[in-house]
Structure formats: C-alpha cells, structure tokens
C-alpha cells in the first residue's frame, strides 16, 4: 500500500543520503537479524534527526552517561529506538556488538528503550505521549538546580495524537521553558495509514504556535538543514521551541518508503535483510 498523494506531496525532496547516513541505516538493518522484527519505517525516518543531534548538537559524555551537566535527549517515540541504538553504539555508550542482540533473550536492547538497561537512554518509552511531560520536568529541574543543559524530546507524528502531549505543551509554555526543544519526526504515516487519513494534524505548525511554542521546520533528511535548525534553538528567549522535521517513513529503503506496512515488520528473514541492504545501496 502506498500512502495517499497528499502525504506524498508533503514529503521532502532531500539531497542524496551521504555515506554516514547509509552506514547508520546499514547498522539498523544488521540489527534486525537479532530480533527478526522491528519498527523499521519509524527508525529510518529518524536517522538524520538522531545523527545530527548526537553528532553536532547534544553535549553528552558517552563515558559518563549520567553526567549532570549533559543535555537530555528523550526519544519519546520509543518504537523508533533502532535509530537511537545505532547512534548510542556509534558514540560509544555501549559496544557496537550489542546491536546484534536486538530483541533477543537477555539483551539490553529491546523493541522499546529502557533507561535502566541502556546507557545513554534518558527515559524508558514506548507508551506514546509521555516524553514531553518528562522533558518539562527535566527542564524545570535544570532551572531549579541552575544547570544550563537543554532538554530535547523527539516525538512521532502519530504520537502527538495523544492528548497528554498537548497537556505538556501548554505546561511548557506556561513555564516559559526556553531550555525545552520538541522535535517532531513528521513522516506523515502512522501505523494504520497516513496521518491525513487517520487523524489530520494540519495545520501542525499553527497548532504548536498556538500552544506557545516558537516553531521552525526543515527537511528532516537534510543534515545541513537540520544543523541549521538546531543551531537556531532556542527559537525564543522566553519559551519552548519545536523543530518540525519533514521526513519519509522508511527513508532509504525504496520499497518501504511511505508504506505503513513497514511501520513495524516481524518475521524478517535473511533474504529480506539482503533486499534492504541492496535497496540502501541503490539509494
């Protein structure tokens, strides 16, 4: 099934993926050998967002994940965890070899991330709509404790169907949390179909502005555009920011792009993994 034309029309015409983006995607595909399942489309749309955050934006210390002065990054759309795992492994929070254990018995890397198990994971997520409230609490704690660290909360577009997200948004604006940055992976596809069909979010930027957020939008696969967007935060001196990243579900794997069937896949065998690698190479 291919998403509706409206959703396709909103998709970014991104520059070609560079070698780092392809390598990170390849690591995600390799990890699927472990669990033979995963939220592939949801992870692929996130790769550049997480890459730019961890490569260029976040002040974190892989050798000391609990360092109190760090920036916090909560992957609120926990089902996209493969994108987070490959970045955390790449940065040295845990050995890259762990990725091969994804979803296996005894692994630290489950189908949704657990803070208790995985170094660098700030909060256990998977139930949607929790991260922004936790981020509000962290941002207030930073203010109370006189810390400079920022709090980034990465959410999915389907996730923001949850009412709790908008409770948190109102609260963030009330407290003028300029140290809180919401990031939306806006791939326009949720589990059951296009966001336009299941629960229309538009006008999304207007909604966030109405809730008191300063807003910017960018191509969520263009690393230059992402860097520029994140360099600009906070977008307002006295309130929270949101960066709406226009992305493609399944980005990089042609036969999975825009297809809700790839939101989550199970029974992934070696042939399918080979097909995914081949698709990545074809660009």
Partner 1 sequence: MRKTCIDMVHALAKRDERVVFIGSDLSPGLLAEMKQEFPDRHYMEGVAEANFVGMAAGMAMDGLIPYINTIATFLTRRCYEQVAVDLCLHNLPVRLIANGGGLVYAPLGPTHVAIEDLAIMRALPNMTVVAPADAEEMRRFMEISLDWPGPIYIRLGKGGDPIVTREADGFEIGKAYHLREANGGRFGPVLIVSTGVMTGRALSAAEELAGDGIACDVLHLPTIKPLDGSALQRLAAKARLLVTVEEGTVVGGLGSAVVELLAERLEGGLPPVRRLGVPDVFLHDYGDQDWLMERCGLQPHQIAKTIADAVNVLAAA
122 touches partner 1 by CB under 8 A: yes
**How far apart, in whole angstroms, are the C-alpha atoms of residue 159 and residue 243?**
15
Establish if 163 lies at the interface with partner 1 (CB under 8 A): yes
The reply on whether position 141 binds partner 1 by CB under 8 A is yes
Shorter beta-carbon distance to partner 1: residue 80 or 135: 135
The one among 10, 20, 61, 143 contacting partner 1 by CB under 8 A: 143
List all residues 6 or more positions away from 64 whose beta carbon is below 8 Å from its beta carbon.
Answer: none
Number of residues that bind partner 1 (CB under 8 A): 32
User: Measured from the CB atom, is 183 or 189 closer to partner 1?
Assistant: 183
Would you count residue 233 as binding partner 1 (CB under 8 A)?
A: no
CA 135 to chain centre: 15
What is the number of alpha carbons within 13 Å of residue 215 lying toward its C-beta?
Answer: 16
Nearest to 159 by CA among 190, 182, 133: 190
223 binds partner 1 (CB under 8 A): no
Give the bridge partners for 244, in sequence order. Answer: 184, 217
Torsion of CA 33, 35, 41, 46, to 10 degrees: -90
Nearer residue to partner 1 within complex by CB, 135 or 220: 135
Residue 127 vs 192, nearer CB to partner 1: 127
Report whether 95 contacts 33 (CB < 8 A): no
Q: For the CB of residue 168, give the shortest distance to partner 1 in the complex, in Å.
A: 5
Residue found under tokens 């940065």: 91
Residues facing 189 on adjacent strands: 194
Give, as ranges, the residues between 54 and 73 that touch partner 1 (CB under 8 A).
68
Q: Which of 81, 88, 118, 138 binds partner 1 (CB under 8 A)?
A: 138
Question: Which residue of 167, 197, 259, 275 would you call a contact of partner 1, by CB under 8 A?
Answer: 167
Non-local (6+) Cβ contacts of 183 within 8 A are 49, 53, 152, 153, 154, 155, 242, 243, 245
Position 148 contacts partner 1 (CB under 8 A) = no
What binding mask, one character per residue, do residues 91-120 give for partner 1 by CB under 8 A, x or -? -----------------------xxx----
For partner 1, the binding residue among 32, 82, 88, 123 (CB under 8 A) is: 123
Residue 81 is a binding residue for partner 1 (CB under 8 A): no
Kindly state the tokens that stand for 196. 């336009």
Could you tell me how far CA 266 lies from the centroid of its own chain? 21
Residues near partner 1 (CB under 8 A) are 68, 114-116, 122-124, 126-127, 129-130, 132-145, 163-164, 167-168, 170-171, 174
């Amino acid at each position: 099934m291919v998403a509706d034309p409206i959703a396709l029309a909103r998709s970014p015409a991104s520059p070609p993926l560079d070698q780092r983006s392809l390598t990170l995607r390849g690591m995600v595909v390799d990890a699927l050998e472990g669990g033979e399942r995963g939220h592939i489309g949801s992870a692929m749309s996130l790769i550049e967002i997480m890459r730019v955050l961890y490569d260029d934006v976040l002040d974190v210390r892989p050798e000391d994940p609990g360092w109190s002065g760090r920036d916090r990054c909560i992957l609120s759309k926990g089902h996209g965890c493969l994108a987070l795992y490959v970045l955390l492994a790449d940065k040295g929070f845990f050995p890259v070899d762990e990725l091969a254990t994804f979803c296996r018995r005894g692994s630290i890397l489950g189908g949704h991330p657990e803070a208790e198990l995985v170094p660098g994971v700030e909060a256990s997520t998977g139930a949607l709509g929790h991260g922004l409230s936790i981020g509000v609490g962290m941002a207030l704690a930073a203010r109370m404790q006189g810390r400079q660290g920022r709090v980034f909360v990465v959410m999915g577009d389907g996730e923001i169907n949850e009412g709790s997200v908008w409770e948190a948004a109102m609260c963030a604006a009330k407290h003028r949390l300029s140290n809180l940055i919401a990031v939306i992976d806006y791939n326009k596809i949720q589990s059951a179909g296009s966001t336009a069909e299941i629960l229309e979010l538009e006008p999304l930027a207007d909604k966030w502005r109405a809730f008191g957020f300063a807003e910017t939008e960018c191509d969520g696969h263009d690393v230059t555009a992402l860097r520029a967007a994140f360099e600009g935060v906070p977008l307002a001196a006295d309130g929270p920011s949101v960066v709406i990243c226009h992305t493609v579900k399944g980005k990089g794997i042609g036969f999975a792009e825009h297809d809700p069937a790839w939101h989550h896949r199970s029974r992934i065998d070696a042939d399918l993994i080979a097909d995914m690698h081949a698709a990545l190479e074809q660009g």
